[in-house]
Structure 1
């Protein structure tokens, strides 16, 4: 390679020699060249890059690299990125990394993307006095004792409330559990009820849940799966944005992600009611459907598996649109999604996915079966038709 033709390479060599780069050369660098050099500096790759430059022949190197690049990338690769691909491929392959590490303004194809794993065990507890506790920082720790009830965080996955004695308070004292996007948390209430709370959800609940004649919790947003401890004398009521679900002891799921709120009954018996006092009684494998826009409350027979699969570590799609699929993945893995056209949203997809798999694995499956392709930049997934 004739390095006199490539100012950015001279600058790399000067930096590697601990020399202050010539300011006249620096002034001639393009924005893309500056980004490439900065990337090499940040990742301490200047020495490897400089050594490789001394040894390489551009045409021979490009012919070696070209078959390893995706067809589309080869066809449209700008001149600078061509040199950058030649330069970085051997270095990053030796380091076991992803070879396409150019800081481009374009999304990187799925096969080349390096994705950070999502930490699913995250939640914020808001106490009755307004204090906030980040549960991911308080593993296996007793947090507080309120109204005769102790609060313990176990293994960064279960927030447990245990009544230690007789609660003297006659008024319920509330805490709030906030689950960010891409996470989940389990809650054990003092009456023995267990709640699995899904991503991007907020649940407000009483610390001293047995202090009054009814047990009231408020699903302010998101989704939760309830296994309610039986107590015929104290009904358990979930208030969910205009629909109240009343039970004595049962297992069910409440989803408020959209304007259509759904309560899906797994076992037992529940009564759902809206603000107009319209009621429906659910038996297992039935669902109460509340339309917030029309205030209509109806029920339907359903296969409960897709609606509660998330609480069992799975995601099940049955003739779901790709838009619905990507909304679910966006919430669970904390990625934004952008479709290249609305037409793609209507593509249907069916399948069963392990909920804790890496998102790249799941996107690969969808690419192979759904006739679409994905590219990624930062924490945004771009969806296009194959």
Structure 2
């Protein structure tokens, strides 16, 4: 309280001094020559500078209070700020702790590890100020528009058997497949747009020549300006891939190998081995429409994809040796039992379900 009273006295003194200065100045003008009046200018400037500093401190205190005490509309989040320039998004994504109670729920998690449930196949819609609408609820994340200020990051966690959509304020649309985590800023930076993916996504990126879009994964980085493409990069899988539907993308591996893809080209990577081949891109992204198309694909790979999509553990038991390849088309809007019945129609397999586990055996 003493320090506050002292500041008020200084301000009052300054105001009083400014009122008395003209009278003293008139007296000095009559008594001294004009060349000696420069000192009065210095005194006046010093008083005005003191008042400006006091006002500036008041403004800073008010801004600090506004940042600490903010209201959240709809759903409350405690946000732990991380400066965007301090760590790459690949490293930052690892700081999110997956809640143990996540189970089969889709979760939106902030960097402060606050979370909310998201309905299956629901959409997250972001606005220019970082506000996001989820399940008809509005979340205000108090994003500060300053490159020197900390950025606010979110992570969407989609368990097996679920899917969701993200609409960013720039017009980019992302389909998020089962068993996937996506980490991203609530508001993209001015110079680039960047997300981190562990799993499978399909992106329709809004073109912006001044802000390229980057998709980072465990083993590669994909750069685009505006295009449609799919990325499949589950950390638990040996192989990662990028398939281009339209436009152009550049893929760069950790080994600094760069590959530019044209439409209907697939880039795949397993360890340090990479390859590029011509494909029908629609077969790799048709999961967004509830379909699965496979052409000479190993049977164990088909069951792994079905397990993720339906959120059901499927154990494929077969003798080691040459894999069994299959081709076909499945409607994933059907029940898993119906889909497995179709698989049994073109592959020599039988199914047995016990303790929530489906066991697949190959008929010799």
TM range (shorter): 0.5 to 0.7
Give, in angstroms, the shift of residue 379 of structure 1. 2.0
Which residue does the alignment assign to 2:268? 289
Q: For 1:101-112, list aligned pairs within 5 A.
A: none
Identify the match of residue 173 of structure 1 among 138, 145, 152: 152
Q: Give the aligned partner of residue 215 of structure 1.
A: 193
User: Is the 8 Å Cα contact of residues 218 and 238 (structure 1) preserved in structure 2?
Assistant: yes
Paired with 1:188 and 1:140, the residues of 2 have a C-alpha distance of 7
Residue of structure 2 in register with 1:241 after alignment: 218
What does residue range 6-17 of structure 1 map to in structure 2 within 5 Å? Answer: none
SS at match of 1:315: strand
Report if the CA contact (8 A) 2:127-2:168 is conserved: no
Deviation of 1:290 (Å) = 2.5
Decide whether the 8 Å contact of 1:161 with 1:189 is kept in 2: no
- Per mean C-alpha deviation after superposition, the further-off stretch among 221-230 and 346-355 is 346-355
In structure 1, the partner of 2:257 is 278
Give, in whole Å, the separation in 2 of the partners of 1:315 and 1:263: 17
Matched, 1:337 2:314: yes
Change (3 A) 1:163 1:234: farther
Work out whether residues 127 and 169 of structure 2, in 8 Å CA contact, stay in contact via their aligned partners in 1.
Answer: no
- Conserved? CA contact 2:332–2:339, under 8 Å: no
1:328 equivalent in alignment to 2:311:
no
Q: 1:126 aligned to 2:105? A: no
Partner secondary structure for residue 360 of structure 1: helix
How far did 1:140 drift? 9.1
Counterpart of 1:259 in structure 2 is 238
Cα deviations across residues 93-119 of structure 1 (Å, max 9, x unaligned)? xxxxxxxxxxxxxxxxxxxxxxxxxxx
1:191 maps onto 2:173 in alignment: no
User: 1:381 and 1:212, CA in 2 relative to 1: closer, same or farther beyond 3 A?
Assistant: same
Mapping of 1:42-191 within 5 angstroms? 122-136=105-119, 148-154=129-135, 168-170=145-147, 171-191=150-170
Shift of 1:151: 0.8
TM-superposition CA deviations, 1:243-289 (whole Å, max 9, x none): 10000000000001322210100000011111232111111011222
Instruction: Report the equivalent of 1:347.
Output: 324
* Secondary structure of the structure 2 residue equivalent to 1:192: coil
CA offset digits 1:305-352 (Å, max 9, x no partner): 221111122001111222111101111111212234335983322111
User: Residue 123 and residue 233 in structure 1: after superposition, are their counterparts in 2 closer, same or farther (change >3 A)?
Assistant: same
Residues 333 and 218 from structure 1, CA distance in 2 versus in 1: closer, same or farther, beyond 3 angstroms? same
Q: In 1, Cα distance between the equivalents of 2:297 and 2:275?
A: 21
For the pair shown, the structure with the greater C-alpha radius of gyration is 2
In structure 1, the partner of 2:283 is: 306
Provide the C-alpha distance between the structure 2 equivalents of 1:334 and 1:264, rounded to a whole number of angstroms. 24
Q: Does 1:358 align with 2:307?
A: no
Structure 2: gaps of 5 or more residues:
1-103
SS at match of 1:306: helix
Q: What SS does structure 1 have at the residue aligned with 2:119?
A: helix
Secondary structure of residue in 2 paired with 1:149:
coil
- Structural RMSD (CA): 3.1
1:227–1:329 Cα change, 3 Å: same
TM-score scaled by length of structure 1: 0.60
Cα distance in 2, alignment partners of residues 180 and 356 from structure 1: 18
Query: TM-score normalised to the size of structure 2?
Result: 0.64
Hey, what's the Cα distance between the residues in 2 that align with 1:307 and 1:271? 18
Q: Is the 8 A contact 1:280 1:297 kept in 2?
A: no
* Residue pair 2:123, 2:164 contacting (<8 A) in 1 also: no
Instruction: Give the SS at the match of 2:226.
Output: coil
* Post-superposition CA distance 1:212-266 (Å, at most 9, x none): 30101001x2100000011110000000112100000000000013222101000
